[in-house]
Chain A
Amino acid sequence: KQEVTQIPAALSVPEGENLVLNCSFTDSAIYNLQWFRQDPGKGLTSLLLIQSSQREQTSGRLNASLDKSSGRSTLYIAASQPGDSATYLCAVPGYSSASKIIFGSGTRLSIRP
């Protein structure tokens, strides 16, 4: 059974710092991995999707990496801004059925001005 873990549950850093969010998964046979952002009281917005054949994806100040063999992904945020404050979730499709997606519980990020 695929399990997705995100540690830490919460993180607070001063504005301008670079930071890394972590995601680990138990079954390395994944099709892809997605990172989402969730603002308080809102739905989820997709940030990056990494295919299983890729090592990383970049979008602006965001860079996501994927290491299937170790069951890990990281989301790197460069030059953090207060507007980056949100909860970040990673998700992978369930191996037994590509229709299901398994989410981590998220990391709540706070950027201090």
Chain B
Amino acid sequence: NAGVTQTPKFRVLKTGQSMTLLCAQDMNHEYMYWYRQDPGMGLRLIHYSVGEGTTAKGEVPDGYNVSRLKKQNFLLGLESAAPSQTSVYFCASTNRGGTPDTQYFGPGTRLTVL
């Protein structure tokens, strides 16, 4: 049981390049989330999904797209990376979302956009 895994762990992009971050969970969780963490700002929700085939916007969705084609995977895409998207990205999953189940987090992806 690997929990929540994220690929890749590190990435450096040039402005304008695109990339996809992959999140996978093996706990059969319904809800999955993408957060970004910046110094002094805590975690901010980018997008989330309440089930296979569904996605919804969080606090800071601009510049990102997501897809949930399979229940166990949640992909985060950057179509045209900008330096403001330099951050650490965390994926999380939970069984029912919000309450009462807790969220399980992946180890993070550190992204630098030059």
Q: Is the CB of A99 within 8 A of B97?
A: yes
**A41-B108, A44-B43, A46-B104 given; 15 more Cβ-contact pairs under 8 Å:** A32-B100, A36-B105, A43-B106, A44-B92, A44-B103, A44-B105, A45-B105, A49-B102, A51-B100, A89-B42, A98-B99, A99-B48, A99-B56, A103-B35, A105-B41
**B83 touches A (CB below 8 Å):** no
Q: Which chain A residues border B35 with CB–CB below 8 Å?
A: 103
Total residues of chain B contacting the partner, CB 8 A: 28
**B74 touches A (CB below 8 Å):** no
How many angstroms from the CA of A36 to the CA of B43 in the assembled complex?
Answer: 12
Contacts known (A44-B90, A99-B50); A31 close to B105, Cβ less than 8 A = no
**A61 touches B (CB below 8 Å):** no
Name the prevailing secondary structure of the A interface residues: strand
Contact with B along A25-37 (1 / 0, CB 8 A): 0000001101010
Most chain A Cβ neighbours within 10 Å, of B31, B58, B99, B100: B99
A residues with a Cβ closer than 8 A to B are 4, 9, 31-32, 34, 36, 41-46, 49, 51, 89, 91, 93-94, 97-106
Closest A residue to B107 using CB positions: A43
Q: Which chain A residues border B31 with CB–CB below 8 Å?
A: 99
Closest A residue to B56 using CB positions: A99
The 7 closest A-B pairs by CB, nearest first: A98-B98, A31-B99, A43-B105, A105-B42, A93-B98, A46-B102, A103-B43
Q: How far is the CB of B52 from chain A (nearest CB, A)?
A: 15
Q: Which chain B residues border A103 with CB–CB below 8 Å?
A: 35, 42-44
How many angstroms from the CA of A44 to the CA of B82 in the assembled complex?
Answer: 26
Closest B residue to A52 using CB positions: B99
